[in-house]
Structure 1
Amino acid sequence: MAPGLPTALDRPHFIGIGGAGMSGIAKILAQRGAKVAGSDAKHSATAEALRALGATVHIGHAAEHLADDASCVVVSSAIREDNPELLRAAELGIPVVHRSDALAALMEGLRPVAVAGTHGKTTTTSMLAVSLTKLGLNPSYAIGGDLDAPGSNALHGEGDIFVAEADESDRSFHKYAPEVAIILNVELDHHANYASMEEIHESFETFVGRIVPGGTLVISADHEGARELTRRLDGSVRTVTYGESADADVRVLSVVPQGLRSEVTVELDGAPLTFTVSVPGRHYAHNAVAALAAGVALGIPAADLAPALAAYTGVKRRLQLKGEAAGVQVVDSYAHHPTEMTADLEAMRAAAGDSRILVVFQPHLFSRTRELGTEMGQALALADAAVVLDIYPAREDPVPGVTSELIIDAARAAGADVTAVHDKAEVPSVIAGMTGPGDLVLTMGAGDVTDLGPRILDRLSKQPK
């Protein structure tokens, strides 16, 4: 049975309760019986899902939203120090808890699986959560994206396994003590918090050091950053590697595209095992193999887990089909790092056959664009045409000289057909003028570019026959 509710979290107030990571923790606490409250900048379906669980959700941030009897205030690294609710907490002497500490408290007494890496965390966490649920193991999970409905990013299960996405961006994954840790890849990202690959590797080494005695590290054998991390470890943790490399412990023998699915064959314990992955792309197939290796490390037979992995059919914003109009399919992608962009575009190219692929890309963060804008532009060259929007700032202030033009120039230098659009409201009409029956449109980025999918479909539906 899962443990009960940590006393310090029995009346939590979340600042930014609608965020992917925050809402998941709030949901689990509400399901465990906590009196949950919080605020968010804008109304959302996630806020409604939390209200349906009994949570009090305020729209907008104001000091009066914080109840005097709150047991703690939960924040993420994105919350600014001048937030009025945070200032009010200081006046009242209410403890402030980082979301990673809250999540770590929820995992106490269970068998945690922490999924880390620069890319693929949400997908791999979801694959494992869905397959364990399919097997009747009733896991708890906290994921950075919704599975099939608003608020489905987290669940309090009655089983003893807790699957969690472990965020390296602010080093918060150092708070967890997993029985099994997955590291999918190791790359330089999150430039506001990491100055070099050396700092990245040191951070991941600390994470590996948090694995409980007798636990297991599952790590990519193909990704050079992950291989370098493996070389740096002292051998005190049981390590299982996976991938296409000849020395991988769980070796990927083949990934055969079958439309929007893949058939994957691995060699495990000297024997071949074939199973289906219900989403397209080699990188998603590798995520599934990582989930398989982690499940085996938990003691689940591979022959049971492999077919259960097919129950995963995607996470919102991870190559999610939004619909079709005028013979044009619109798909949404969360990719915002060049490696992710390249992987998703290659996956769609394999699935789309001869169809033209057009991308609507919204860069995410000034710091990321400054450091990786050239590589983003090169990735966009894999599409037949691209529309590039202004940078989505999220938590950052503008950086002088850093604009989408960095990406556009690099894309054009790589031979891409790129159009700059500064007003998102114009995108549906621009896309309607560029597309024809059989084309595929990919909205791509971690910001509000996702809102354009339905608008593009609506505009296409009004095209003259």
Structure 2
Amino acid sequence: MNINRFTHIYFIGIGGIGMSALARYFMAGKTAVAGYDKTKSEITEQLQVLGAIVNFEDKLEAIPEHYKNSEKTLVVYTPAIPQNHTQLNFFKSNNFKVLKRAELLGDVTKSTFCLAVAGTHGKTTTSAILGHLLYSCNVPLTAFLGGISVNYNSNLIVNGTEVSVVEADEFDRSFLKLSPDFACITSMDADHLDIYGEASEIKEAFVAFSKCIKPNGKLFVKNGLPLKGITYGIEDNADYSAQNIRIENGHYVFDVKTPKGILKDFKFNLPGRHNLSNALIALAMAVEYGCPHQQLAKALASFMGVKRRFSYHIKEDNLVYIDDYAHHPEEIKAVLQAVRELYPGKFITVIFQPHLYSRTRDFADDFAKALSGFDNVILLDIYPARELPINGVTSQWLLDKVENKNKALLSKTELLQVLKQNKAQVVLSLGAGDIGEEVYNIKQTLKYAG
């Protein structure tokens, strides 16, 4: 498809993190952009500042008139949009070219040298590190990120169009629309069982994704996954391995064993072995692309992270508050490992908002086990996102499974009241729902507690 024949693009779900990166990309190329989203957010406000027309009501009259020409307007939507969406059905029934987000991303990156990051965990941080490494090595790239990079204050990194970095999203099998030159798979844990049904189905989808790589391309896989490719791992016998790991002044310092020798003394600022693994695979892909060691070392040391990925909001001797997007049991375990490593012996309170009724149901025992590792557990009600309630699946049901004498189910208002009396040492807020919008209130309450 020749995207260039369209002068206007209308995004349905424009406030989504992946959709907004594409919107930014096309606005940078001077294409007219408009769209719909359910709620206003910092992202939609930023898009409006850049020139996008954004509406928040699913009505036909909310669509700008000059976007109602099917010859000029391309329509893009996210799979999270319901089938009965008025605007989407108008475009579909009036012969507009309508694409899913993944189809457009596949089309945009098809003519580039594409590096794709797949896996049920770690995609956003890994792709942000990789984009930053390549940008710092002056590679002419565009990186489409699933989070806001702190270094660039954006989910889009632009330094040219010859190379692309993308997240290969397994939701709705979206990643099968990509044709990468390099691809990595960080993990293949069960998730999105509302889409896949069985854990075996999601593994088969990752296998299918591995076959989407272009001829003579390279697949990178975490050591132990049932796929053949260039392997990577922490302190093991993989092709790329982080070795001689130590912590100096609160940062990881490590060497990288490669198929051609040892690259020494990389410094990395993010905590947790999961993040160290993300940095390692980004380095491996950048090395295989041809980036020089010294520039990579300097670039990695300057990487500042991704918003809502182990983001510090209070970092004092007697009080720490960290916010993270973790919404799967394995991600919660990884955050707990990192915080225990950084703050041994400290009393740790977790505030967790479960995301989706189906995910809560499917992984209830695993969630309970992961949460039981904290010293104090506070649950908020389940964030439904695109789902209707499932009978019997509630946060109270999940909380009853948590083996911890310090636990409570609170509303957001009750949470702030409890935190006012809290003599916390380390507090974490976790989840993929709207808990991120409570960060400021939690921070302010903790700062002035007691």
Give the TM-score of the pair, scaled to structure 2: 0.93
Does structure 1 residue 243 correspond to structure 2 residue 243? Answer: no
Q: What is the Cα deviation at residue 164 of structure 1?
A: 0.5
- What is the number of equivalent residue pairs in this alignment? 444
Q: Partners in 1 of 2:396 and 2:301 — Cα distance?
A: 41
Give 1:252 shift: 2.1
1:135-173 CA-partner distances (Å, limit 9, x unpaired): 222420111111138970013431522100110011010
Match of 1:420 in 2: 409
What is the deviation of 1:370? 0.5
Alpha carbons 1:257, 1:351 under 8 Å: kept: no
Alignment of 1:137 with 2:139, yes or no, is yes
SS at match of 2:148: coil
Following superposition, the deviation at residue 185 of structure 1 comes to 0.8
* In the alignment, structure 1 residue 15 sits paired with structure 2 residue 12: yes
Kept in 1: contact 2:134–2:291 (CA 8 A): no
1:373-425 CA-to-partner distances (Å, cap 9, x unmatched) read: 1111111122111101111111111111111133212212xx4521111x212
Structure 1 contact 131–311 (Cα < 8 Å) conserved? no
- Which residue among 335, 339, 347 is the counterpart of 1:344? 335
Structure 1 residue 6: Cα displacement: 2.2
Distance 1:364 1:416, change over 3 A: farther
User: Aligned partner of 1:173: which letter?
Assistant: F
Task: Kindly provide the CA deviation profile for residues 40-63 of structure 1, in whole angstroms up to 9, marking residues without a partner as x.
Answer: 112222112212322111123221
Contact 2:355 2:432 in 1 (8 A): yes
Q: Identity over aligned residues, as a percent?
A: 35
Q: 1:259 to 1:59 in 2, by over 3 A?
A: farther
Deviations 1:59-118 (A, max 9, x none): 232212333125221111101111111122134221211000111121132111110000
Q: Distance in 2 between matches of 1:206 and 1:9?
A: 32
Match for residue 68 of structure 2?
Answer: 68
Contact 1:12–1:35 (CA<8 Å) still a contact in 2? Answer: yes
1:430 equivalenced with 2:418 (yes/no): yes
Normalising by structure 1, we get a TM-score of 0.90
Equivalence for 2:32: 35
Aligned-partner Cα distance in 2 for 1:435–1:257: 29
Alignment of 1:160 onto 2:162 = yes
In structure 2, the CA distance between the partners of 1:299 and 1:326, relative to structure 1 (3 Å rule), is closer
User: Which residue is 1:319 aligned to?
Assistant: 310
Is 2:246–2:252's contact at 8 Å kept on the other side of the alignment? yes
Q: CA deviation at 1:256?
A: 2.3
Q: Does the 8 A contact of 1:357 with 1:441 survive in 2?
A: yes
Provide the C-alpha distance between the structure 1 equivalents of 2:151 and 2:87, rounded to a whole number of angstroms.
29
Report the equivalent of 2:215.
213
Q: Could you say which residue in structure 2 is the equivalent of 1:441?
A: 427
SS in structure 2 of the partner of residue 163 of structure 1: strand
Tell me, what secondary structure is at the counterpart of 2:193? coil
Contact 1:137 1:159 in 2 (8 A): no
Give me the whole-angstrom Cα distance separating, in 2, the residues matched to 1:198 and 1:184.
17
| Equivalent pair of 2:131/2:157 in contact (CA under 8 Å) | no
CA distance 1:71–1:332, change in 2 (3 Å):
same
**Aligned letter for 1:447?**
G
Structure 1 distance, partners of 2:131, 2:285, is: 11
CA distance in 1 between partners of 2:315 and 2:57 (Å):
35
Structure 2: 5+ residue stretches without partners: none
Partner Cα distance (1:39, 1:266) in 2: 45
Going from structure 1 to structure 2, the CA distance change for 1:259 and 1:194 (only over 3 Å counts) comes to farther
1:304 is the counterpart of 2:295: yes
* Counterpart residue type for residue 327 of structure 2: H
Does structure 1 retain, via aligned residues, the 8 Å contact 2:182–2:213?
yes
Q: How does 1:100-115 map to 2 (within 5 A)?
A: 100-115=102-117
Change beyond 3 A, Cα 1:243–1:326: closer
Q: Runs of 4+ in structure 1 displaced over 4 angstroms?
A: 324-327
8 Å CA contact 2:110–2:178 kept in 1: the answer is no
| Aligned mates of 1:118, 1:28 — CA distance in 2 | 25
Q: Give the structure 2 partner of residue 233 of structure 1.
A: none
Q: CA deviation at 1:369?
A: 0.6
Q: Give the aligned residue type for 2:122.
A: G
CA positional deviation for 1:33: 1.8
| Residues 330-369 of structure 1: pairs in structure 2 closer than 5 A | 330-369=321-360
Distance 1:453 1:324, change over 3 A: farther
Q: Secondary structure at the match of 2:220?
A: strand
2:163 & 2:309 partners in 1: Cα distance? 25
Q: Of the candidates 73, 92, 95, which is equivalent to residue 93 of structure 1?
A: 95
* Equivalent position to 1:292, from 258, 280, 283: 283
Q: 1:182 to 1:397 in 2, by over 3 A?
A: same
For residue 178 of structure 1, give the secondary structure of its aligned residue in structure 2: coil
| Separation (CA, whole Å) in 1 of partners of 2:242 and 2:16 | 35
- Mapped to 1, the partners of 2:5 and 2:415 lie a distance apart of 47
Partner of 1:188: 190
1:389 and 2:380 are equivalent in the alignment: yes
Q: Which amino acid aligns with 1:401?
A: G
Structure 1 residue 300, shift from structure 2 partner: 1.7
SS in 2 for 1:153: strand
C-alpha distance in 1 between matches for 2:164 and 2:105: 10
Return the letter of the residue paired with 1:457. K
How far did residue 315 of structure 1 move?
A: 0.4
Is contact 1:330-1:453 (8 Å) kept? no
Contact 2:231 2:239 in 1 (8 A): yes
